[in-house]
Amino acid sequence: MDFEAVTQKIREIAKRLLSEGQVDAVLGYREGTVPMRERPFFAYTPEEAEQLVWTPFCCNNLANFLIRKPKGEIGKWGIVAQGCVTRNLVGLIQENQLKREELFIIGVPSPGMVDRRKVLDKFPGKTISQVLVEGEELVIKGPGLDERLDMKTVKRDNCYTCIQRNPVIVDEMACDKAENDSMGGDIDKMAAPWESLDPDQRWQAFYDNFKDCIRCYACRDACPLCYCHVCFVDESQPQWCGKTQDFADVATFHLLRAFHCAGRCTDCGACESACPVGIKMRRLTSKIEKDIRQMYGYRPGLEIEATPPMSVYKPNDPEDFIK
Amino acid sequence: MFARRRFAVLKNLLEYIGLEPGRLHFSWISSAEAEKFQRTAQEVVEAVRKLGPAKRLIKDIRKVA
Amino acid sequence: MADKILAKDKLPEFLAQLEKEHRVYAPQLQGDDYRWAPLEQAGDVVWDFSNTRLSPKEFFFPQTECMMRFVNDPADPEGMIMKPEEPLDEKRVLMNIRPCDAKAFGVLDLIFCQDDYTDDPYWRDKREKTLLVALACNDPCPQCFCTSVGCGPHSEAGSDLLLVDLGDKLLVKVTSERGAAFAEGLEEAGEDDQKKAAELKKAAEDKLAQNLTVGTDKIAQKEVLELFDDPMWDRVWESCLNCGTCTFCCPTCHCFDIQDETQGKEGRRVRNWDWCMHWLFTRHGSGHNPRGTSKERVRQRFMHKFKYIPLKRGGEIGCVGCGRCVVLCPVNIDVREVVNQMNA
């Protein structure tokens, strides 16, 4: 992908939309102050739209910011969206949180975003002060560090198994669609890695995965599906989930949050990108996604008219587990 | 009926993270099926008793720091 | 006491002396990050790390801390009595804590132990039982801005001993009375050693000057309401997720939420870290929330750290410039940019 060209096109579209008054704001990214992280940005004027960028470090899910409705006065949003983000927009429209008319979607096919932790892992203990994109390579610079990495080797886990790179709904593309919607990874092989383990091993894997959690809720707050007025962890009458660091409390939070995303999660990876301690909570959601797909034949966010799987039932739904 | 889908997903999730098979049971019982209710309750208690005290996903505030 | 020298190959003896009465903890590489862990042997000490991912404040302020226990039964002879938890049963050394983190605990002392009525015994107990052996920064990382907030790469505030890495040996500065006892047996440092340490300090400070620096002088002069009502806040809060990442990784953030948990007749009173970005943080039992919008909460955090704490604690800033929040914020809200806007 020619990131520079896409950046220029996004800026051009955004400036046009804003100066013509077609939208009240354009939600995109601008350059971050730390390596490998761009930051969500709200451009309200054509001048501000000059700051918009598109790079392989755009690791948030911008649909998340629409559900917060930061300004009630915003009538229409422009939003820079790749495949998974548009799937979330479809989901939010299905759930009556957004209206299609409120959105002007500037579509981009996803290049697969870089997982900054994978890059950091290649240089343990070293300080990285700058990461540049050159073609298909990353140039990593720091004190005593001047290396190149093939971007393909350091993408986010979810990006390898992406099934929808191109936007599902779009108003104007910022570049040509990708030839393939799929990134090529085998989701069935990668999803639910603990299925091959016995219960004791599974519990150990689950514990090891989540034991570092600090209950910051960055995963929940970065997720476009988590828009409940009062999240279940914040309820106190009754308190469903303890607030302590006891593993039972930590596990309850993650299990239930994954469960609440059943049939809705588009595997955008914003949760894992947001986590400050590198927890792989997609181990849970990928299992649920696989079950939903295999039991009910549903993939979230591909069609606005589809009915989400958890709000219907079919007479022949699997029930061999019920005596 | 909607619960059926939820329970299917939930059971798979809990067993996926290591809850021992045999801890979680489901059964269709109507309020008119008292005998089935009694029988199922006994079966579940026996099955779970065989597995021993639950240790996973349990929080005992007397034991934690 | 004069500065001393500790050769690195003499480190085992030095640690053995500490270990007579203390458990020693130090930053160690685990996975892709440095974390605080018990030090098993002298060879595990690392000299060239930047900093640990999360601050060591858990040593004094655990994320979950049981404060007292009770039995909710009037018939029980032990019932209806709140029993405090046991104090810490070991003395500890935090080896190679960075000067910013060491200073942070000095700042928190001003908050946890203010006067007769505000003296947190849980905090105080742990602080009194912990020795801080700081390691000066010779190679600050790109996100640090300690010199902008009254700290520095070789700052002596808050530590008991400050070590400066001179290569094959360490300059040992005695920075508290407690530290003096452990430096007594060491050789005195020569002029060359002192000179080298001063050069390293200057080099580190020069490097920091090249980072994005932060101005705080005008903030001190502005009125509270002038800062509070500034239109800059209308833009700062927009991308904030209201998660607890910045608060939890910060060495000076200290808010907590107290809850009682019961199980049958037994119960405990526990405190957990809380975060002011959360909507529940200021929600009253009545349902009213004085900081019901994200903008108010985001503004609060910066105002608290950079205006209210200095006002109430004699000019001490509620931030030591460690840079963790800059690195970890999921949406890259950069405290340095925000403070510079406050200082405009």
Q: Is B32 domain-assigned?
A: yes
Task: For A166-204, write each residue's pLDDT tens digit.
Answer: 999 999 999 999 998 898 888 888 888 899 999 999 999
Query: Which of A240, A244, A271 is the best mutation test for C, with the most CBs of C within 10 A?
Result: A244
Q: In sequence order, which residues have a C-beta less than 8 Å from that of residue A150 and are 6 or more positions away?
A: A136, A137
Same-domain status, A276 and A137: no
Nearest neighbour of A206 by CB, restricted to B17, B26, B64:
B17
Query: Which of C332, C334, C337, C340 is the best mutation test for A, with the most CBs of A within 10 A?
Result: C332
Residue C167 has pLDDT above 70, yes or no: yes
Same-domain status, A209 and A243: yes
Mean pLDDT for chain C overall: 94
Q: Is A321 domain-assigned?
A: no
Contacts of A244 in chain B (CB under 8 A): 64
Residue A125 has pLDDT above 80, yes or no: no
Contacts of C333 in chain A (CB under 8 A): 39
Chain C: closest CA distance from residue A65 (Å): 7
Same-domain status, A20 and A111: yes
Stretch C321-336: mean pLDDT, rounded? 96
Q: Is B5 domain-assigned?
A: no
Helices B2-16 and A247-260: crossing angle in degrees, nearest 10, is 140
Query: Which of B4, B6, B9 is the best mutation test for A, with the most CBs of A within 10 A?
Result: B9
Chain C: closest CA distance from residue B58 (Å): 12
Helical (H) or strand (E) element with C34: strand C33-38
Domain that holds residue C58: 4-342
Task: For C194-216, write each residue's pLDDT tens digit.
Answer: 999 999 999 999 999 999 889 99
Contacts of A27 in chain C (CB under 8 A): none
Q: Is A322 domain-assigned?
A: no
CA distances from C226 to C295, C307, C313, C340 (A): 16, 11, 20, 15
Same-domain status, A57 and A173: yes
State residue A68's pLDDT score. 73
**Partner-chain contact C263 B61, CB within 8 Å:** yes
Quick one: tokens of C318?
A: 């509620």
Closest residue, chain A, to B2 (C-alpha): A313
**Partner-chain contact B65 C261, CB within 8 Å:** no
Domain that holds residue A294: 3-115+155-311
Closest CA to C63 of B57, A68, A250: A250
Contacts of A77 in chain C (CB under 8 A): none
A221 touches chain B (CB under 8 A): no
B32 touches chain A (CB under 8 A): no
Q: Is A320 domain-assigned?
A: no
State residue A269's pLDDT score. 95
Residue A39 and residue A98 in contact, taking contact as beta carbons nearer than 8 Å: no
Q: Is B13 domain-assigned?
A: no
Task: For B3-60, write each residue's pLDDT tens digit.
Answer: 899 999 999 999 999 999 999 999 999 999 999 999 999 999 999 999 999 999 999 9
Closest residue, chain B, to C62 (C-alpha): B65
User: What letter would DSSP give residue C190?
Assistant: P
Tokens 């907590």 belong to residue: C256
**Partner-chain contact A310 B20, CB within 8 Å:** no
State residue A73's pLDDT score. 65
Q: Is B11 domain-assigned?
A: no
- How far is the C-alpha of A169 from the C-alpha of A192, rounded, in Å? 29
Q: In sequence order, which residues have a C-beta less than 8 Å from that of residue A65 and are 6 or more positions away?
A: A27, A40, A42, C238, C239
Same-domain status, A246 and A122: no
Backbone angles phi, psi at A39, to 5 degrees: -125, 140
Residue C93 and residue C126 in contact, taking contact as beta carbons nearer than 8 Å: no
DSSP-derived 3-state class of residue C258: strand
Contacts of C261 in chain A (CB under 8 A): 242, 244
State residue A70's pLDDT score. 55
The full 3-state SS of chain A, as one line of letters, equals CCHHHHHHHHHHHHHHHHHCCCCCEEEEEEEEEECCEEEEEEECCHHHHCCEECCCCCCCCCHHHHHCCCCCCCCCEEEEECHHHHHHHHHHHHCCCCCHHHEEEEECCCCCCECHHHHHHHCCCCCCCEEEEECCEEEEEECCEEEEEEHHHHECHHHHCCCCCCCCCCCEECCCCCCCCCCCCCHHHHCCHHHHCCHHHHHHHHHHHHCCCCCCCHHHHHCCCCCCCCCHHHCCCCCCCCCCCCHHHHHHHHHHHHHHCCCCCCCCCHHHHHCCCCCCCHHHHHHHHHHHHHHHCCCCCCCCCCCCHHHCCCCCCCCCCEC
Closest residue, chain B, to C270 (C-alpha): B65
Closest residue, chain B, to C261 (C-alpha): B61
Q: Is B38 domain-assigned?
A: yes
Same-domain status, A97 and A218: yes
Number of domain units in chain A:
2
Q: Is A265 domain-assigned?
A: yes
pLDDT band for position C247 (cuts 50, 70, 90): very high
Nearest neighbour of A202 by CB, restricted to B2, B5, B17:
B17
What is the β-pairing status of strands A77-81 and A25-34?
parallel
Nearest neighbour of A200 by CB, restricted to B14, B18, B57:
B18
| Chains touching B, CB cut-off 8 Å, 3+ pairs | A, C
State residue C155's pLDDT score. 96
Residue C22 has pLDDT above 70, yes or no: yes
A229 touches chain B (CB under 8 A): no
Residue C141 and residue C193 in contact, taking contact as beta carbons nearer than 8 Å: no
Chain A: closest CA distance from residue B34 (Å): 15
- How far is the C-alpha of C273 from the C-alpha of A269, rounded, in Å? 26
State residue A67's pLDDT score. 83
Same-domain status, A22 and A97: yes
Closest residue, chain C, to A243 (C-alpha): C272
**Partner-chain contact B5 A310, CB within 8 Å:** yes
Closest residue, chain B, to C68 (C-alpha): B65
pLDDT band for position C226 (cuts 50, 70, 90): very high
- How far is the C-alpha of C236 from the C-alpha of C295, rounded, in Å? 8
Stretch A316-321: mean pLDDT, rounded? 89
Query: Percentage of residues in chain A with pLDDT exceeding 70?
Result: 98
Q: Is B3 domain-assigned?
A: no
Task: For A12-68, write each residue's pLDDT tens digit.
Answer: 999 999 999 999 999 999 999 999 999 999 999 999 999 999 999 999 999 999 887
**Partner-chain contact A321 B21, CB within 8 Å:** no
**Partner-chain contact B60 C263, CB within 8 Å:** yes
With b meaning 16 or more CB within 10 Å and e meaning fewer, what string describes C308-323? ebbeeeeebbbbbbbb
Number of domain units in chain B:
1
Residue A126 and residue A117 in contact, taking contact as beta carbons nearer than 8 Å: no
Nearest neighbour of C238 by CB, restricted to A70, A215, A218:
A70
Q: Is B45 domain-assigned?
A: yes
What is the β-pairing status of strands C91-97 and C130-135?
parallel
Q: Is A317 domain-assigned?
A: no
**Would you say the pTM of this structure is higher than 0.90?**
yes
Number of domain units in chain C:
1
| Chains touching A, CB cut-off 8 Å, 3+ pairs | B, C
Q: Is A289 domain-assigned?
A: yes
Contacts of C268 in chain B (CB under 8 A): 61
Query: Percentage of residues in chain A with pLDDT exceeding 90?
Result: 83
Helical (H) or strand (E) element with C268: strand C266-273
**Partner-chain contact B18 A251, CB within 8 Å:** no
Quick one: tokens of A130?
A: 């700058």
- How far is the C-alpha of C191 from the C-alpha of C289, rounded, in Å? 60
Same-domain status, A54 and A125: no
Same-domain status, A214 and A279: yes
Task: For C88-106, write each residue's pLDDT tens digit.
Answer: 999 999 999 999 999 999 9
User: What letter would DSSP give residue C85?
Assistant: P
Chain C: closest CA distance from residue B32 (Å): 33
Contacts of C294 in chain A (CB under 8 A): 68, 70
Residue after which a domain boundary falls, among A124, A139, A154: A154
State residue A71's pLDDT score. 53
State residue A265's pLDDT score. 96
Chain A: closest CA distance from residue C33 (Å): 7
Same-domain status, A135 and A73: no
Task: Count interface pairs A-B at CB distance under 8 A.
Answer: 93
State residue B13's pLDDT score. 95
Closest residue, chain C, to A214 (C-alpha): C248
A292 touches chain B (CB under 8 A): yes
Contacts of A242 in chain C (CB under 8 A): 261
Task: For A62-118, write each residue's pLDDT tens digit.
Answer: 999 988 765 566 789 999 999 999 999 999 999 999 999 999 999 999 999 999 999
Same-domain status, A43 and A172: yes
Same-domain status, A239 and A270: yes
Closest residue, chain B, to A203 (C-alpha): B18
